[in-house]
Amino acid sequence: MNHDQSRRNFLKLGGAALAAGTVGAAAGATGAAIAGPSGSAAVASGAKASLPKAKGPRLVVVGGGTSGLTIAKYAKREYPKFDVVLVEKRDMYSSCFSSNLWYAGLINLEFLADHSFLDAAKNNDYIYFNATVTGLDRAGRKLITSEGEIDYDFLVLAPGISYDYEKIGVKDPEAVAALRQTYPGGFVSPTEHVSIHRKVREFEGGVFLQTVPSGNYRCLPAPYERACMIASVIKRNKLKGKVLVLDANPEITIKQAGFHAAFDELYKDIIEWRPSSPVTGVDVGKKLVHTEFDAIPFDDAAIYANVRASTLIEKLGLMAPPSKSNQKEANVDTRFYNVAGDLRVYVTGDSRPQPYSKSANTSNTEGHHVARMLAARAQGKEPVWAAPRTICYSMVNAAPMEAISVDAGYDYDAAKDEITGFSKDTRTFEKRDAARGQATLEWARGIYRDMFEA
């Protein structure tokens, strides 16, 4: 991909989110009072969380995903005086990235899940606190959790994404619950991966539907990679079946040449890709997916709805106005991630509004940058901006393992205060090969090491 192509793709793909890249109007530094789960003012219980007394400036990091784990570790390393607490609602880790490989039997579940929050915290000298965040008192610098309140000097929120089912025409809570439980998207929580793994294992033929949403959804290549992995199982088991990829976008959103080649050369009669087919509704009982013109039957499915920032961002009153983000992302400074007008509270990872790829490598490299920035701010120094890097491998062939990849950087326009596109050194590697197949596994091991080991 040359620079012009990469810029065009960036603008096309990140288009909706790009508007959100301009961060301006402050939400008020002392802003939100206490926001509760309902979004209305919540009453803090006043009970303190059971934590050791802070031995230095307390940095609380919410979310033990790629972003939060990286920031907790490296902020402590950059500024050892920080007293770091990682608040995570889950008590078991399992990564979203690499889960597609599990469906095709290329890795086992241990590869994804044999990583401990406790070990990460012990190895890197911070505290893992297993609790759910329910509110925030920015004026009083208190985070409210299911296990009591935590005072902070600096707060990073990295809660990831939520699905936006309304955008695919599924609105009432009963229909959303039925769809989510029956045909999970597999892009938020490990329990979805376990369901999809079972579906793929038990698939006996017919149509397996994989949808691709519009907007800046989490991991652009992942739904296409998943289509390839499920198709490889259909091929291996010689089933009379196919993967129907219903794509809301007019073109494959990234690594087009590599995915088209895989679809045509490896899975000719097994993958059917239909572009410009946004989902407008799903009838779970009848196993029918609706688009503007068709009602398409399927036998099993992974229905990937549009994404938005985690609902936590909205509940805490940190959401950017619709003119800046149509995915309900946080209202933060374009370069330094602090909530507009508030140098104590930061939002990172897939809840950010910048039009970066919502991916693990982006969150990890961004996490290193945010850690340095927090260390600078805690010492009264000027932070320095650095762009995250998006390196992303996609396995397209299972036997033998072969992958394609992208390596992208980003440009910042100071006059506009916007991230304007991919940087000149952005490259895609679209000719699948075995070396990249191996590198896909090595990349994931490297990210686990960087998050969990000392």
Ligand X SMILES: Cc1cc2nc3c(=O)[nH]c(=O)nc-3n(C[C@H](O)[C@H](O)[C@H](O)COP(=O)(O)OP(=O)(O)OC[C@H]3O[C@@H](n4cnc5c(N)ncnc54)[C@H](O)[C@@H]3O)c2cc1C
Identify which of 353, 348, 331, 350 has the alpha carbon closest to the alpha carbon of residue 340.
331
Half-sphere exposure at residue 436, Cβ-oriented, CA atoms within 13 angstroms: 21
Return the number of the residue (291 or 337) whose C-beta is nearest ligand X.
Answer: 337
Q: How far is CA 168 from the centre of its chain?
A: 19
Beta strand pairing call for 410-413 and 154-157 = unpaired
Return the number of the residue (87 or 404) whose C-beta is nearest ligand X.
Answer: 87
CB of 380 to ligand X, least distance (A): 28
Q: Which two tokens stand for residue 279?
A: 């989902």
CB of 68 to ligand X, least distance (A): 6
CB of 382 to ligand X, least distance (A): 26
- Closest residue to ligand X, judged by C-beta, is 65
Contact at 8 Å (CB) between 403 and 437?
yes
Rounded to whole angstroms, how far apart are CA atoms 208 and 229? Answer: 12
Contact at 8 Å (CB) between 246 and 289?
yes
Return the number of the residue (209 or 291) whose C-beta is nearest ligand X.
Answer: 209
Give helix 256-266 / helix 222-236 axis angle, nearest 10°: 10
Rounded to whole angstroms, how far apart are CA atoms 250 and 201? Answer: 31
CB of 208 to ligand X, least distance (A): 15
Return the number of the residue (117 or 412) whose C-beta is nearest ligand X.
Answer: 117
Identify which of 183, 297, 187, 303 has the alpha carbon closest to the alpha carbon of residue 242.
297
CB of 410 to ligand X, least distance (A): 15
Return the number of the residue (6 or 440) whose C-beta is nearest ligand X.
Answer: 440
Return the number of the residue (223 or 291) whose C-beta is nearest ligand X.
Answer: 223
Return the number of the residue (224 or 291) whose C-beta is nearest ligand X.
Answer: 224
Contact at 8 Å (CB) between 112 and 119?
no
Return the number of the residue (6 or 67) whose C-beta is nearest ligand X.
Answer: 67
CB of 298 to ligand X, least distance (A): 19
Q: Which two tokens stand for residue 364?
A: 């990890």
Contact at 8 Å (CB) between 69 and 120?
yes
Return the number of the residue (64 or 215) whose C-beta is nearest ligand X.
Answer: 64
CB of 357 to ligand X, least distance (A): 7
Contact at 8 Å (CB) between 123 and 76?
no
CB of 249 to ligand X, least distance (A): 17
E strand or H helix at 174: helix 173-182
Residues that bind ligand X (CB under 6 A): 62-68, 87-90, 96-97, 99-100, 132-133, 158-160, 186-187, 218-219, 222, 310, 312, 349-350, 358-361, 363, 392-393
CB of 252 to ligand X, least distance (A): 15
Q: Which two tokens stand for residue 313?
A: 């961002």
CB of 240 to ligand X, least distance (A): 26
Return the number of the residue (66 or 331) whose C-beta is nearest ligand X.
Answer: 66
Phi first, then psi: give them for residue 156, nearest 5 degrees.
-115, 130
Helix/strand/coil percentages in the chain, nearest 5: 30, 25, 40
Q: How far is CA 120 from the centre of its chain?
A: 20
Contact at 8 Å (CB) between 20 and 325?
yes
Q: Residue 121, SS3? A: helix
